Chain A
Amino acid sequence: MNTVIDAHNISKTFNPETIPIYAVRDVHLHLERGEFTALVGPSGSGKTTLLNLLGGLDKPDKGNILINGVDITSLRPNALIDFRLKNIGFVFQSFNLIPVFTARENVELIMQLQHRSKSEIDERVKILFQEIGLEEKMNTRPAQLSGGQQQRVAVARALASKPQFILADEPTANLDSKSAIKLLDIMAKLNKEENITFIFSTHDPRVIERARRVITLVDGQVHSDTRAIDTSGEHFIPIDKE
């Protein structure tokens, strides 16, 4: 296994000069390629903030984050955007597809930003839509897709750039059970067959029970970090006891 994310002692405080909110405190995190990790914890525990920090959307006040050996906390804004484009895939709670684009164009967008050739784009789009099982909906606009279908397109978009890992912020929060299970099946398959690294922030027990590793945050700190001991994901042991 090789290291994808290596976060050292990272902290993030909001309103430091008025009423400080310690969103993330002294977090150490080490993620290997191919992990399927859930970040859990009560509301306000710092899950989204930690995800934002790991995704380079926000900068920690303290500590550093190495992604594939690159310290993203020291990158300049434009270089950071470029880094995100090439290395990180994002899936958001409310899908966030561009409404005026078709599903296909939404997925193509990332590759257009990477200046990929048309043939390469066409080939990748075909594969991605096969993987998410929406080949027949390629030319449909997001508004004509169900929530679950939109989130699957969002996963395809996140995968389009062949990122190092995918960050998903509560990906099943807006989905019904059937759609959530279908989405999780796709992500689990991609993780297993293509060794794609996933990190979710979630409250959803369906996601937690499918995760291979569960990190629990409380008040911005890592309360527990456990790994499943069997493939069913029903038995977890703390990471430090592995």
Chain B
Amino acid sequence: MWLLKLAWKNMWRNRNRTAITITAVFFSVILSVLTNSLQEGVFDNLIKNVVSFYSGYIQVHKSGYWDEQILENTFENLPELQEQVIQIDNVEAVTPRFESFALASSDTLTKGCMVVGILPEKEDAITQLKNKVAEGNYLKDGDEGIMLGEGLAHRLKLQLNDSIVLIGQGYHGAMAVGKYPITGILRFGQPEMNNQSLYMTLSNAQVLFSAENRLTSYVIGLENTNELDQTAVNIRTSLGDTYETMTWEEMMPEVVQHIRTDKGSMVIIQLVLYMLIAFGIFGTLLMMMVERKYEMGMLIAIGMKKFKLMQVMMLESLFTVLSGCLLGILVSIPIVVYLYRNPIRFKGQLAEVYEEFGFEAIFPTSTNPEIFLNQGVLVLILGLVLSLYPLVKIAKINPVTAMKK
């Protein structure tokens, strides 16, 4: 108890030095939490944009479809198959899709587009597609109209209630041609989706492509996205070799690669940050050792074992670094939450640059509690590792030389 008392009182013997150390740790925690939370937030947003707004976290196809995306690799929509998937743990919802490519035209303009046949209500349950409606209405079962991305509409100079003509190749080489009224314009965060996608009801798409009751995929929504891999394994095991089960990471390795590369460069930035923190803390430790060398020599002289003195020093460091960490975490929480609710949004040319690379130009933070905990613990460990310096100095201290002025 008296060791704690000594450590606590020592911590406040030089208020300025302690304040400098706590402030260094405090800002370090805030900075590292913010950078991490921004990075995670941007990736989460990217995944949400690319994955949950379109591909879903898991898809089931007929085996071989992903490598050769032709209509001959579609599968029959069997109610018992859907039921089998939905019974699997962590599967929240399943929606069938029929996807193919067609040439969209209006007047003299044409553009290739991706036609997606959906069950409107089920699709919305997984990808919240309804939220993307910028003009007009969301599809209903039995609707004859279509919804298309804002970029595609702009390119074809089409507006709500105009008609669009689709030409493509159907199942078994049949001709796919159709004319549809535009009942909705969609606005996606992801530019690629904005410029290419066109939605119609599943039955309309099956009719257009002469593929009655056939599907290209089941899109699966999860209760807990952290259990992605295990759920994929369970579905794979349940459905066998006739079907292929793919996670979004397998379907879009380029997104995974991008995240990895970006995380790698962030590691370097963080290393620089941690180095700055380390120098800040080390500087104060160095000053403290010079200031208290005489006293430490005296304490050893009068009978305090070096191990006890080391314990006092460790406690002092722990109190100081822990205070900075806790304060840093407490202050960073409202900042991160604010930036989560009001994300940084780039505008103008900078936004265009981001969009060209397929990113939505907004930077929300992530409120994942692990970020606060991890960064706090990391800075704490860093502080405690640096505290080994005084311990080494104490181990080497000679009371006679330490007490020479």
Instruction: Report the stretch among B2-10, B82-90, B231-239 that lies at the interface.
Output: B2-10
* Bound Cα distance A57, B304 (Å): 13
Q: Which of A78, A101, A105, A110 contacts B302 (CB 8 A)?
A: A110
**A161 interfacial by beta-carbon distance below 8 Å:** yes
B295 engages A98 (CB within 8 Å): yes
In the assembled complex, how far is the CB of residue A95 from the closest CB belonging to chain B, in whole angstroms? Answer: 10
Docked CA distance A86–B303 (Å): 8
> Which residues in window 291-309 of B have CB below 8 A to A?
294-295, 298-306, 308
The 6 A-B pairs at the shortest CB distance, nearest first, are namely A85-B303, A100-B9, A96-B298, A112-B2, A100-B13, A84-B303
Known interface pairs A92-B298, A96-B294. Does A82 touch B303 (Cβ–Cβ under 8 Å)? yes
Q: Are B301 and A57 in contact (CB under 8 A)?
A: yes
**B205–chain A nearest beta-carbon distance, Å:** 78
A58 to B301, CA, bound (A): 10
Q: With A99-B13, A109-B2, A112-B2 in contact, do A82 and B305 touch (Cβ < 8 Å)?
A: yes
**22 A–B contact pairs at CB < 8 A?**
A52-B400, A55-B301, A57-B301, A81-B304, A82-B303, A84-B302, A85-B304, A98-B6, A98-B295, A98-B299, A100-B6, A100-B12, A101-B6, A108-B2, A109-B2, A110-B302, A112-B2, A113-B303, A113-B308, A157-B302, A158-B302, A161-B303
Chain B residues numbered 265-318 whose CB sits less than 8 Å from any CB in chain A? 294-295, 298-306, 308
Binding site for A on B (CB under 8 A): 2, 5-6, 9-10, 12-13, 294-295, 298-306, 308, 399-400, 403, 405
Interface assignment of A200: CB less than 8 Å from any CB of chain B:
no
Query: Is A198 on the interface with B (CB-CB < 8 A)?
Result: no
Q: Are B13 and A84 in contact (CB under 8 A)?
A: no
Closest to A49 in B: B400
Identify the interface centre among B9, B302, B308, B405: most chain A CB within 10 Å of its CB: B302
Find the B residue at minimum CB distance from A158.
Answer: B302
Decide: B303 and A58 in contact? CB cutoff 8 A: no
Please state if B9 and A101 are interface contacts (CB–CB under 8 Å).
yes
> Chain B: interface secondary structure?
helix
| Contacts known (A52-B400, A58-B400); A90 close to B9, Cβ less than 8 A | no
Q: Tell me, in angstroms, the Cα distance from A161 to B12 when the chains sit together.
A: 28
Q: Which of B12, B301, B305 contacts A90 (CB 8 A)?
A: B301
B399 → A minimal CB distance (Å): 5
Which residues 97-117 in A have Cβ within 8 Å of B in the complex?
Answer: 98-101, 105, 108-110, 112-113
**Is B12 within 8 A of A81, CB to CB?**
no
- Looking at the assembled complex, report how far the CB atom of A77 sits from the nearest CB atom of chain B, in whole angstroms: 8
Instruction: Give chain A residues whose Cβ lies under 8 Å from the Cβ of B306.
Output: 78, 81
> Could you say which residues of chain B place their CB within 8 Å of the CB of A161?
303
**A81 and B299 alpha carbons, distance in the complex (Å):** 10
